[in-house]
Amino acid sequence: MRWAQEPNRRLMPFAWGLEHIGGDANDTDPRGFLESFVETTLAQSDEWYAATPSTDYSLEDNVLTFTSAIASPWAENNRVYAQYFPVRRKGPAVVVLAQWNARWEEQQNICRWLNSRGLTAIKMSLPYHDRRSIPGHPRADHMVGPNIGLTMQANRQAVLDVKRTLRWLEQQGYSSLGILGTSIGSSIAFITMCHEPALRAGAFLHVATYFGEVVVNGLTTMNVWESMSGQLSHEEATRYWSPISPLPYIPKLRAGKKILAISGRYDPTFWPEFTDSFLATMRRNNVPFETLSLPCGHYSLGVAPFKYVVGYRFGTFLARSLAGVDGTRVGHF
């Protein structure tokens, strides 16, 4: 029902989109280019996800803006917006990344909840979302779409934007940094954590293995896969989008990072078998983590009563995990 109520869902045309990842739009062998691109990018992901601080940070009315590290084809998308929720005393800070197609006002209460735990929060708008949306696309059709290269560019852009947000927090004196992501925000948050030494703790609401597996099999992305299915196999979608997938980067996680994974046992978008495979890979790589599985689905993780359980768990986890790193105390129950 929640899925069916979502407005403005559309079928976008399939495209290879190689020009968005350094290739030629007219390449006669797009599969050959992508195979080489994937192999190189996975091996050199630290370079692919590297970002310098912005030179034009601006804070007005607790909204941080700056220029994105990636210049997409649309100027509207290339200005980053982040809602800043500071606490009185500077201590730990958490970057909050909402779900696909989240509105500007969504998850503001999560930020205020983190404030009550003594944590500063900054909610960054994802590419093509709310104030970054482009004309004619009220939905973030280019963040997850049947354009292979553009989708990769958008998700890479999101990671680089988070890293620039973290650099701003450091400039303000925050040294104990965490991240909280939901759905696609969880995927972006996890990839960032794997490539960002400054992040000490992360809470991930919905976890899965590969971006392509979610798109091919998920309820939320049925319209995306409908446009792709005549052009790509399941295996190709998983392979080509592996550079924007969490699973390949698990071995890069450094010791000492605190991780909480929360999932729904009846999730029709991040299927439970994908969550189980992700957690099994974490265990094989000897990565410590905490987990919480609830008897709900994808959308229902964010409604009562489940949202209260989830909020309590990630709030206390982040407060505990980020406390004491720089001598700062945070709130407790």
CATH at 81: 3.40.50.1820
Lowest mean pLDDT across 204-208, 250-254, 327-331 = 327-331
pLDDT surpassing 80 at residue 329: no
pLDDT surpassing 60 at residue 24: yes
pLDDT surpassing 90 at residue 27: yes
Helices 148-171 and 184-195 cross at an angle (nearest 10°) of 60
Q: What is the mean pLDDT of residues 182-195?
A: 98
DSSP string, 78-121: GEEEEEEE--SS---EEEEE--TT--TTTTHHHHHHHHHTT-EE
Task: Spell out the residues 6+ positions from residue 219 whose beta carbon is closer than 8 angstroms to its own.
Answer: 3, 268, 269, 298
Asked whether the whole model's pTM tops 0.85, one would answer yes
The DSSP output letter for 28 is S
- Inside any domain, residue 8: no
For residues 298 and 90, the model is more confident at 298
- The first and second tokens of residue 313, run together, are 């768990």
| Structure-token match 């994808």, residue found | 298
At residue 89, the pLDDT reads 83
153 to 52, 61, 159, 223: CA distances (angstroms): 17, 30, 10, 20
- The candidate with the shortest Cα–Cα distance to 38, out of 258, 239, 321, 203, is 239
At residue 324, the pLDDT reads 61
Q: What is the mean pLDDT of residues 111-121?
A: 97
- Inside any domain, residue 318: yes
Do 317 and 201 contact (CB within 8 A), yes or no? Answer: yes
- In the chain, the number of structural domains is 1
Residue 205 backbone phi and psi in degrees, to 5:
-95, 105
Strands laid side by side in the 290-294 sheet: 58-60, 63-67, 79-85, 120-124, 93-97, 177-182, 199-205, 258-264, 290-294
Neighbours of 229 (CB within 10 A): 14
- Inside any domain, residue 173: yes
Rounded distance between C-alpha atoms, residue 104 and residue 81, angstroms: 10
At residue 10, the pLDDT reads 84
- Inside any domain, residue 4: no
Give per-residue pLDDT as tens, 135-146: 999 999 999 999
Residues 220, 127, 182, CA angle at the centre, nearest 5°? 50
- The candidate with the shortest Cα–Cα distance to 180, out of 102, 278, 266, 70, is 102
> In Å, how far from its chain's centre is CA 23?
25
- Inside any domain, residue 280: yes
- Inside any domain, residue 304: yes
At residue 309, the pLDDT reads 98
Three-state DSSP at 206 gives coil
Q: What is the mean pLDDT of residues 196-225?
A: 96
Range of the domain at 22: 18-322
At residue 6, the pLDDT reads 73
Amino acid at 245: S
In the chain, what percentage of residues exceed pLDDT 90?
90
- Inside any domain, residue 200: yes
